[in-house]
Chains A and B, each alone.
Chain A
Amino acid sequence: MKLKITGAISAVIILFIASCQSEESIEFRRYYSSGALVYQTHCQNCHGINGEGLSALIPPLTDSIYLKNNKTALACYIKLGLNRPITIKGRTFDDAMPAAELSPVEIARVLTYIGNSFGNKLNTINEQAVQADLAKCE
Chain B
Amino acid sequence: MKNLTWVGLIAIIFGTACKFNTGDKTVLPIYGNRRPVTKMVNDKPVTDTLYQTISKFKTINQYGDSISNKSLDGDIYIADFFFTTCPSICPVMHRNMLNVYNAFKSRGDIRIISYTIDPKHDSVPVLKKYADKLGVSGNTWWFLQGKKDDIYKLSESYLVRKPQEDAKQQFIHDGSFILVDKQKRIRGAYDGTDPKQVEQMIADIKTLQNEPDQIIAQ
Which of under 10, 10 to 19, 20 to 34, or 35 or more describes the interface residues of B? Answer: 10 to 19
Surface stretch bound by A, among B31-39, B63-71, B83-91, B201-209: B83-91
B102 to chain A, nearest CB (A): 11
Q: Is B88 within 8 A of A45, CB to CB? A: yes
**Chain A 14-47 near chain B by CB (<8 Å), digits 1 or 0:** 0000000000000000000000000000000110
Q: Is A48 within 8 A of B87, CB to CB? A: no
With most chain A CB atoms within 10 A of its CB, the pick from B89, B98, B133 is B133
In the docked arrangement, what's the CA distance between A57 and B87, Å? Answer: 12
Tell me if B95 counts as interface (CB < 8 A to partner A).
yes
Tell me if B138 counts as interface (CB < 8 A to partner A).
no
Chain A's closest residue to B87 (CB) is A98
Residues of chain B with a CB closer than 8 A to A54's CB: 91, 94-95, 98, 134
With most chain B CB atoms within 10 A of its CB, the pick from A56, A57, A58, A98 is A57
A/B pair count, beta carbons within 8 Å? 29
Which of B88, B92, B133 lies in contact with A57, CB distance below 8 A?
B133
Q: Is B89 within 8 A of A57, CB to CB? A: no
Tell me if B51 counts as interface (CB < 8 A to partner A).
no
Q: Is A56 within 8 A of B88, CB to CB? A: no
Chain A's closest residue to B92 (CB) is A45
Residues of chain A with a CB closer than 8 A to B98's CB: 54-55
In the docked arrangement, what's the CA distance between A98 and B168, Å? Answer: 14
Q: How many residues of A contact B (CB 8 A)?
A: 10
| B window 75-101: CB within 8 A of A | 87-89, 91-92, 94-95, 98
In the docked arrangement, what's the CA distance between A98 and B193, Å? Answer: 20
Q: Is A46 within 8 A of B133, CB to CB? A: no
Chain A's closest residue to B91 (CB) is A46
Q: Is B133 within 8 A of A48, CB to CB? A: no
Residues of chain A with a CB closer than 8 A to B193's CB: 45
User: What are 20 A-B pairs at a CB distance below 8 A?
Assistant: A45-B87, A45-B88, A45-B91, A45-B92, A45-B193, A46-B87, A46-B91, A48-B95, A54-B91, A54-B98, A55-B98, A55-B135, A56-B132, A56-B133, A56-B134, A56-B135, A57-B133, A58-B91, A95-B133, A98-B87
Could you tell me which B residues sit within 8 Å of A by CB distance? Answer: 87-89, 91-92, 94-95, 98, 130, 132-135, 193
Could you tell me which A residues sit within 8 Å of B by CB distance? Answer: 45-46, 48, 54-58, 95, 98
